[in-house]
A and B are shown apart, each in its own frame.
Chain A
């Protein structure tokens, strides 16, 4: 008998099962008799894991090579077909303590990301090559090359710079053209104009043997800007791959029972109404349906936030996402795909997302003012020089110099550099931000709404006041509990392991769904379960606790009380958020007594209980309409619409798939301190981004008058642009220094130890 709960670092996963025909789609051929398969291994986030997995799998005789990608947390294994099955590899990884699931890069769009990244890097390399060589030639011109030599150098520069601009400038040209088509101006418009004009004007000057050419400015600009663009891309790609790897570790499908009684595995998307599926104890339902055979306790916490399981019998309606706890069921599917309770919630979500006003990122907001201002200045310069009686040539030169000097090199780097540094810092503390906009939004929130079950609490019950229970009672109760997957039984087992108690071995153990367990030990009948099952009266008032009664023979029954224990740092986080000037609310679908208990424990005054998904959505939207900027923190399927409606949103990695997809930020690990850390980091990043803007704008204020006066030579332009970019990057690096991330409190470490003990016992 193994322990029912498979826990890794406090997060519960069902091992992935790779079923027959399904296996083929993950495997590719890697030579004669060799196959290659990739696994996602979310826990492989440390160098030790890399060494351990590679050494262990590599030592298997049938494995040719195993290579870990630490950035993507993936393992690629090449193995001999006949000698080992992919399932055996998953099991081997499981024994090492790593949950794995097969991975197909095509399903997550990661390959497209990789191609984009490679294209940007190639452009960056070309721009870097051109910048280096053109600068070499420019330095000789500045140091006094004249006449034929200077012209030769200019022609050489043109031959290097023009193809480089044409190739490396494409990301900007494309974006500028599509923005202009839509009738608005983004940062890429002045960038494209500046670079193109600099290149073309320099070509004209070279053609006429003039002294000034700005080829070096054009390619250096592109180089810096591409670096900014690549950083921005890197950040999005990193978060996307991190979130892709969190995609359900459960098997996505069900075992369908045919008319002749045979069973076959059908992926969830191919399930149809009328099919009968077998749901084993511990499985999640793949679709809505009606129970036909079997009685079991269902964990509905992801759907309703209710922490107490509910008993279902033949005829009862069950929903996709519910977890069968105690016994196998046969369920007839009534709705699959677009007709499920789940898809109703998805519709609510997309409606909520459309209701959100389009968020405009800080760089784009600035671009709205910046581009017109720059173009006006250039036009004014042109007009001014003409009015003062200079020729067309000099006037155009001065105007182009203004466009070159104001080319938003530092501006293009200012935000991406800060955001990459800040998100990298958060990433290392286990907080994954989906994109830069999410980080900017985090800085602006003024209200935080927490869900209860699974968000502020662990979503798994633990025994209240354990010392009051004698070792003898616990030994006997655990003897029964080890035969059940019921969450309260699991909680009893965890307590037994923590106290180093070896459970008794009762005989004739039977589980009675909806009632409890029975067994015989030493001639006495043992019963563990509901109050009625053990013959105890109901209490006068609901304390908001879950209960199990235990009875041994004719002796007085014992009541075990359980509470859904708080995540570590829950109270401290609420205090910290309040201290940062944020309103904190609690919004739960659970019973009022249970909600009140948690609200009081963490110090939240505004608590709402028994909220349906629709009510949660309405609550968040009402606050949003009143001008609030809501950070919604939730994990369940029932929270998904509210997460989508929130100005910003966070979900723990243990959340339902749909919750993680809806949230803009996902955090790993047990501690809720991640919420405060993310908001703090968001604010800090925003402050540094603003400073960077101030620096960049300040540089323009100094340089533009010089350019308008016609004093900017190519040398001045090169120096001014490089220094401003370097200053902005140096300032961005300060985000690294701040103390962010959930601190491992004593409680977290304690929880970790217990989980390890449970795993060893299993």
Chain B
């Protein structure tokens, strides 16, 4: 049962990272254009601007 002492904090910490990452992605505008993002992935426009 001593394993719980560090397993539980680890689980909570990892969950917290997930939550923080989601809130970051929300803040940085990644949910603003869901439709466009779906199509953007298919485009071959990776060349840098000349």
Contact = CB atoms under 8 A, between A and B. Distances in A.
Interface of A: 47, 50-51, 54-55, 58-59, 68-72, 114, 117-118, 121-122, 125-126, 129, 132-133, 136, 149, 152, 156, 160
Contact of A70 (B1, B12, B39): B39
Nearest to B19: A129
Nearest to A63: B49
Interface in B5-47: 8, 11-12, 15-16, 18-19, 22-23, 26, 31-36, 39-40, 42-43, 45
A129 B33 contact: no
A47 B36 CA distance: 7
Contacts of A149: 1, 4
A72 B40 CA distance: 15
A51 B35 contact: no
Interface residues on chain B, size class: 20 to 34
B36 A121 contact: no
A125 B42 contact: no
Given A71-B33, A156-B8, A129 B18 contact: yes
Contact of B19 (A50, A69, A71, A125): A125
Given A71-B32, A121-B26, A156-B8, 8 more contacts: A47-B43, A50-B43, A70-B36, A129-B16, A129-B18, A133-B11, A136-B11, A149-B1
A152 B33 CA distance: 43
B26 A50 contact: no
A551 B30 CA distance: 64
Nearest to B36: A70
Given A125-B19, A133-B15, A70 B45 contact: no
A160 B26 CA distance: 22
A594 B17 CA distance: 69
B1 A54 contact: no
Contacts of A132: 15
B45 A54 contact: yes
Contact of B26 (A55, A72, A118, A152): A118
A72 B22 CA distance: 22
Nearest to B31: A121
B32 A50 contact: no
B31 A68 contact: no
Given A50-B39, A125-B23, A133-B11, A70 B33 contact: yes
A160 B15 CA distance: 11
Given A54-B45, A55-B45, A149-B1, A47 B23 contact: no
B42 A47 contact: yes
A50 B33 CA distance: 12
B37 to A, nearest CB: 8
A71 B49 contact: no
Contacts of B4: 149, 152
B36 A69 contact: yes
Given A55-B45, A126-B19, A68 B36 contact: yes
A129 B15 contact: yes
19 contacts: A50-B43, A51-B43, A51-B45, A55-B45, A68-B36, A69-B32, A69-B36, A71-B32, A71-B34, A71-B36, A72-B32, A72-B33, A114-B32, A118-B26, A122-B23, A125-B19, A125-B22, A129-B15, A132-B15
B1 to A, nearest CB: 7
Contacts of B22: 125
Contacts of A121: 26, 31
A118 B19 CA distance: 14
B12 to A, nearest CB: 6
Contacts of A126: 19
A50 B16 CA distance: 36
A72 B8 CA distance: 43
A50 B23 contact: no
A149 B45 CA distance: 56
A70 B35 contact: yes
Nearest to A70: B36
Nearest to B21: A125
A50 B11 CA distance: 42
B40 to A, nearest CB: 7
Q: Which 7 A-B pairs have the closest CB atoms?
A: A70-B36, A47-B39, A129-B19, A69-B33, A70-B35, A71-B35, A125-B22
Contacts of A72: 32-33
Contacts of A71: 32-36
Nearest to B27: A118
Contacts of B18: 129
Contacts of B11: 133, 136
Contacts of A117: 31
B35 to A, nearest CB: 5
